[in-house]
């Protein structure tokens, strides 16, 4: 089989552009409307996407005045979508800093069973003091400590997901023997961050465990991804940067003793599609015209850890910003924003315009052919195994992508034309079902 | 409107009888089959039940040899059922000892929105060292401490659910103002067990918050119920005990300053239905014949905190068991089992037979008329506001109840004949939508 694009639909409220809710077509209450997400899931299935994805943080983002705030909790929402969809993968973000492994492992195992093997977990360590203060802490744990906890969390979760062998259930009614207790393996884990004694109370699932996804691109993030991740979402502004990231991650993965084919790299793109290039640019401009700049300034000051009223709309960023290593928050996002502003010599106003349209992810604005061309170029020139599609406006932007770009990608042989028989999410991404750590391969 | 029965379907694997999985009709894998639960939910909606309910504990129960072990996590499973049902309430058990208020409040708020106001929370404190050892503890916290934490957990959860006023979302596109930040109220909670600073990241839900359900009948449990619970599941063996419990709980609720009509008492019953009384008894006997007694002995020894091999099948329980106050586990269940054994002078074998058919809940075996008579008597004589229906075998026992007992209850005017327009779970139970603690009533 030839190499195919993997497409993920990153769903967010009325779209990834922060002003999308202000367009006439948008419903300001869509962010908590089940029907909105059901509709998006069906569009994505029509486009034979591999998966849906929802971001998350356990705190109330931003202020309410600016844009839709609050959301349905991703695991809950994706579980509701599981019974209303058939093929598409369901990737929920959940934090290793603010969950217990036993609780979270159960929920993902349950979703994997309920969805017939379509669960994925976007593993995040959750930057920011706001989240920490919702969980009894005064400040966020240090970046390195969050990643150390994440690694131990994964270790425990994998032990839990493997705690039942696949054939632990016997179901022998005549003998009165339901299961085989010798095929259950309690983790008896005693580590730095966690002690977890008993086996999971969910049998092993269709995929064994959810597809493991990761999105941080800091040094710690890439190190973590090379050990655990099977798919990586990343924000890259140029094909050169994207190729460098791709090559780096594949080689780190090989160095970690894994097959580099078993980690799929998906840069985020914000497609803005028009029948003509001018129409696409007009759509972009319409969105930019709806940005309320005072909010953007406040957000930038928070990200860059500057005092309020430091930034001026029509000047560039201050020259003396600290290096990434001195930042305790979302490191890779910090660097992305600073580099974008420096590279293109953007004023604060221009920077806010760029960030408003996908928070630093690359916008491809153009005709369906131009968008398809860009996708093909990145895909065939070592920059991507697929894309994290982040429409500026939802649902219309996803509709436009599926109706106009997807047919071109299919004609070029880059994308499946139908799902075929039911398969697991890991199979869609071309990954093997993981072996159970307690079972010796039969050929040994 | 005349007083109506409230019926809850307590779903469990292939049924509440521990040997149900061994019957020819049962699927030994049903406990993790979404279709099994979809089928049960639809039967219960056909019977115009108020709600479905799933029990839970964050540990692997019992041993696999004996009977189906493991389960789909209740909030996850009920969320999957939400999109496949229309009217029925969805009550998930979750522990205050092994969850964070912020995480759990989000999940229930999300389910309440997704289901259109049909979420309920069965609040448990989770007895047992097995669960504790899955969350970093060596032993379970003391009974009183678990309840103190539960009370603070509720306090925080209620603050979180009220952190958005109902009209916090403005959606003013022209002005570029999405929400009103003055209508968001961060808890800023600093207590003994929890510190939670920020507002919930979910808007206020159709019900305000999920229906609050409670099931422990210990002194601490009843005290907790009188303060918070809107529905109570209870195990009562005789109508006298049930009337005493009912009167006690209603008067405690009044003493706590609440309307006693705002707490609904639902004893659990295990209906075993036959066309004749003899047929019902034969069904009971068939189930009892499938019990494997060695497992029952081990379970009893664990509950009574006796060393292994203390009990003998054809003798009664030892005379010198400790009082409930000396027991740290599931106090009300301990007392229920000991009193049942003493009252009816049961041998261990007989006790296991009784417990096998619903773990101490009352079995009503008989014709549909006899079962309906018993329900009517308890309902009209101050012993119950409705029932927690726990079929011995699933799905057939729920089918039998809905096909044969429900029509009689409807004819007698005891049960609704149809759902009518969509309503919230709290409305079904005849309870008012709670006011937001931050909003002054308009008439003040």
Q: Single out the residue of A80, A82, A220 nearest to residue A150, CA to CA.
A: A220
pLDDT tens-digit series, residues A34-66: 999 999 999 999 999 999 999 999 999 768 988
- Name the minimum distance, in Å, from the CA of A166 to any CA of chain B: 13
pLDDT at B444: 46
Q: Helices B277-289 and B348-356 sit at what angle, rounded to 10 degrees?
A: 110
**C-alpha torsion sign, points A43, A47, A50, A54:** negative
Chain-centroid distance, C-alpha A215: 6
pLDDT tens-digit series, residues B246-298: 999 999 999 999 999 999 999 999 999 999 999 999 999 999 899 888 888 88
- Name the minimum distance, in Å, from the CA of B301 to any CA of chain A: 20
Does A130 contact chain B (CB < 8 Å)? yes
Taking contacts as CB-CB distances below 8 angstroms, the residues of chain A near B99 are 103
Which pairs count as long-range contacts for B64-67, CB under 8 Å and 24+ apart, including other chains? B64/A168, B64/A169, B64/A178, B64/A179, B64/A180, B64/A181, B64/A183, B64/A184, B65/A177, B65/A178, B65/A179, B65/A180, B65/A181, B65/B295, B66/A178, B66/B18, B66/B292, B66/B295, B67/A178, B67/B13, B67/B18, B67/B19, B67/B21, B67/B295
| H helix or E strand, kind and range, residue A342 | helix A331-343
Q: Max alpha carbon distance in chain A (Å)?
A: 80
B440 assigned to some structural domain? no
Q: Is residue B281 classed as helix, strand or coil in its secondary structure? A: helix
Q: For A321-423, where are the E strands, in sequence order?
A: 362-366, 386-389
Q: Judge whether B396 and B24 are in contact, CB under 8 Å.
A: no
pLDDT tens-digit series, residues B291-304: 888 888 888 888 88
A437 assigned to some structural domain? no
Q: Which of A65, A70, A203 sits opposite B70 (nearest CB)?
A: A203
Please identify which residue in the block is written with the tokens 């009709």: B25
Q: Helices A219-228 and A143-161 sit at what angle, rounded to 10 degrees?
A: 10
A333 assigned to some structural domain? no
- pTM of the full structure: 0.94
Which pairs count as long-range contacts for B103-108, CB under 8 Å and 24+ apart, including other chains? B103/A58, B103/A98, B103/A99, B104/B157, B105/B156, B105/B157, B105/B160, B105/B161, B105/B200, B105/B202, B106/A58, B106/A73, B106/A76, B106/B200, B106/B201, B106/B202, B107/A73, B107/A75, B107/A76, B107/B75, B108/B75, B108/B157, B108/B209, B108/B210
A318 assigned to some structural domain? no
Q: What percent of chain A has pLDDT over 90?
A: 78
Q: Which residues contact A390 (CB under 8 A, 6 or more apart)?
A: A10, A12, A16, A268, A269, A270, A358, A361
Q: Would the pLDDT of A293 be above 90?
A: no
Q: What are phi and psi of A204, to 5 degrees?
A: -60, 145
Chain-centroid distance, C-alpha B143: 19
* Residue predicted with more confidence, B421 or B413: B413
Taking contacts as CB-CB distances below 8 angstroms, the residues of chain A near B292 are 176
Whole-number Cα distances in Å, B306 to B317, B322, B347: 11, 10, 16
Q: Which of B64, B76, B135 sits opposite A100 (nearest CB)?
A: B135
pLDDT tens-digit series, residues B150-170: 999 999 999 999 999 999 999
Does A415 contact chain B (CB < 8 Å)? no
What is the span of the domain harbouring residue A396? 6-272+362-428
pLDDT tier, B422 (very low <50, low <70, confident <90, very high otherwise): confident
A338 assigned to some structural domain? no
Q: Would the pLDDT of B55 be above 80?
A: yes
| H helix or E strand, kind and range, residue B156 | helix B143-161
pLDDT tier, B359 (very low <50, low <70, confident <90, very high otherwise): low
Q: Single out the residue of B420, B407, B306, B303 nearest to residue B355, CA to CA.
A: B303
Residue B15's CATH number: 3.20.20.30
Q: Which of A75, A113, A195 sits opposite B32 (nearest CB)?
A: A113
- Name the minimum distance, in Å, from the CA of B202 to any CA of chain A: 5
Q: Which of A57, A58, A178 sits opposite B66 (nearest CB)?
A: A178
Chain A: residue whose CA lies nearest to B160: A134
B414 assigned to some structural domain? yes
State in Å, rounded, how far the first CA of chain B is from the last one.
29
Q: Which residues contact B439 (CB under 8 A, 6 or more apart)?
A: B165, B166
Q: Judge whether A97 and A60 are in contact, CB under 8 Å.
A: no
Does A381 contact chain B (CB < 8 Å)? no
Chain A: residue whose CA lies nearest to B289: A176
A289 assigned to some structural domain? no
Question: Which B positions 10-39 lie with beta carbon below 8 A of chain A?
Answer: 19, 21-24, 26, 28-29, 32, 34, 38
pLDDT tier, A303 (very low <50, low <70, confident <90, very high otherwise): confident
pLDDT tens-digit series, residues B94-106: 999 999 999 999 9
Task: Give counts: helices (H), strands (E), chain A.
Answer: 15, 13
Does A419 contact chain B (CB < 8 Å)? no
Chain A: residue whose CA lies nearest to B135: A196
Q: Single out the residue of B107, B109, B115 nearest to residue B89, CA to CA.
A: B115
pLDDT tier, B360 (very low <50, low <70, confident <90, very high otherwise): low
ipTM of the complex: 0.93
Taking contacts as CB-CB distances below 8 angstroms, the residues of chain A near B136 are 194-196
pLDDT at B328: 66
Token reading at B397: 């026992």
pLDDT tier, A360 (very low <50, low <70, confident <90, very high otherwise): low
Q: What are phi and psi of B6, to 5 degrees?
A: -105, 125
Q: Which residues contact B418 (CB under 8 A, 6 or more apart)?
A: B48
Q: Is residue B307 classed as helix, strand or coil in its secondary structure? A: coil
Whole-number Cα distances in Å, B27 to B135, B325, B396, B431: 32, 41, 12, 38
Q: Which of B28, B67, B73 sits opposite A106 (nearest CB)?
A: B73
- Name the minimum distance, in Å, from the CA of A296 to any CA of chain B: 13
- Name the minimum distance, in Å, from the CA of A40 to any CA of chain B: 15
Taking contacts as CB-CB distances below 8 angstroms, the residues of chain A near B61 are 201
- Name the minimum distance, in Å, from the CA of B376 to any CA of chain A: 37
Token reading at B65: 């040899």
Q: Would the pLDDT of A444 be above 90?
A: no
Distance CA A274, CA A283 (A): 8
B372 assigned to some structural domain? yes
pLDDT tens-digit series, residues A140-190: 999 899 999 999 999 999 999 999 999 999 999 999 999 999 999 999 999
- Name the minimum distance, in Å, from the CA of B65 to any CA of chain A: 5
Q: Would the pLDDT of B411 be above 50?
A: yes
Left, alpha or beta for B305 (phi > 0: left; psi -120 to 50: alpha)? Answer: left
Taking contacts as CB-CB distances below 8 angstroms, the residues of chain A near B173 are 21-24, 26, 28
Does B161 contact chain A (CB < 8 Å)? no
- Name the minimum distance, in Å, from the CA of A365 to any CA of chain B: 24
Q: Which of A29, A66, A76 sits opposite B114 (nearest CB)?
A: A76
Distance CA B362, CA B388 (A): 11
Does B68 contact chain A (CB < 8 Å)? yes
Range A234-262 average pLDDT: 96
The alpha-helical segments, DSSP class H, found in B274-432 are 277-289, 293-303, 331-343, 348-356, 368-380, 396-400, 406-411, 425-428
Exposed (0-12), middle (13-18) or buried (19+): which is B378, by Cβ within 10 Å? buried
Taking contacts as CB-CB distances below 8 angstroms, the residues of chain B near A292 are 176
Chain A: residue whose CA lies nearest to B204: A70
Split into its structural domains, chain A has a count of 1
Distance CA B298, CA B264 (A): 35
Supply the mean pLDDT for chain A: 93
Exposed (0-12), middle (13-18) or buried (19+): which is B35, by Cβ within 10 Å? exposed
pLDDT at B440: 79
Q: Would the pLDDT of B135 be above 50?
A: yes
Q: Which residues contact A89 (CB under 8 A, 6 or more apart)?
A: A8, A50, A51, A52, A118, A119, A120, A211, A425, A428, A429
**C-alpha torsion sign, points B332, B338, B342, B348:** positive
Q: Which of A110, A169, A173 sits opposite B72 (nearest CB)?
A: A110
């Amino acid at each position: 089989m030839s190499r195919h694009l993997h497409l993920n639909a990153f769903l967010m409220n009325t779209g990834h552009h922060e002003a999308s809710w202000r367009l006439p077509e948008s419903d300001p209450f869509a962010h908590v409307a089940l029907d909105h997400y059901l509709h998006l899931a069906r569009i994505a299935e029509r486009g034979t996407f591999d998966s849906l994805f929802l971001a998350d943080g356990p705190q109330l983002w931003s202020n309410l005045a600016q844009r839709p705030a609050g959301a349905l909790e991703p695991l809950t929402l994706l579980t509701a979508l599981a019974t209303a969809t058939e093929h598409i993968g369901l990737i929920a973000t959940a934090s290793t800093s603010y969950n217990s492994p036993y609780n979270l492992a159960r929920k993902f195992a349950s979703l994997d069973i309920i969805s017939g093997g379509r669960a994925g977990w976007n593993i995040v360590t959750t930057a920011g003091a706001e989240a920490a203060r919702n969980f009894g802490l005064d400040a966020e744990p240090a970046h390195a400590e969050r990643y150390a906890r994440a690694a131990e969390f994964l270790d425990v979760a994998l032990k839990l997901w493997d705690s039942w062998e696949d054939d632990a259930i016997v179901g022998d009614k005549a003998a009165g023997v339901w299961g085989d207790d010798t095929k259950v393996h309690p983790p008896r884990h005693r580590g730095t961050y966690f002690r977890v004694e008993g086996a999971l109370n969910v049998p092993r699932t269709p995929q064994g465990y959810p597809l493991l996804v990761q999105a941080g691109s800091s040094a710690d993030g890439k190190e973590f991804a090379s050990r655990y991740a099977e798919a990586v979402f990343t924000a890259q502004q140029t094909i050169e940067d994207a190729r460098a990231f791709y090559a780096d991650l594949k080689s780190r993965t090989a160095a970690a003793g894994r097959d580099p084919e078993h980690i799929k790299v998906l840069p985020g793109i914000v497609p803005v599609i028009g029948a003509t290039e001018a129409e696409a640019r007009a759509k972009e401009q319409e969105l930019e015209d709806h940005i309320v700049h005072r909010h953007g300034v406040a957000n930038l000051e928070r990200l860059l850890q500057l005092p309020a009223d430091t930034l001026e709309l029509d000047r560039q960023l201050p020259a003396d910003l600290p290096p990434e290593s001195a930042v305790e928050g979302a490191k890779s996002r910090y660097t992305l924003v600073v580099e974008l502003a420096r590279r293109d010599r953007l004023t604060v106003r221009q920077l806010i315009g760029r960030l408003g349209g996908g928070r630093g992810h690359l916008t491809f604005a153009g005709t369906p052919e131009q968008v398809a061309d860009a996708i093909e170029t990145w895909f065939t020139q070592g920059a991507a195994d697929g894309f994290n599609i982040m429409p500026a406006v939802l649902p219309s932007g996803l509709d436009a992508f599926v109706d106009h770009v997807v047919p071109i990608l299919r004609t070029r042989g880059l994308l499946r034309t139908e799902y075929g028989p039911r398969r697991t999410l890991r199979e869609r991404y071309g990954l093997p079902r993981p072996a159970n750590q307690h079972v010796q391969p039969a050929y040994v």
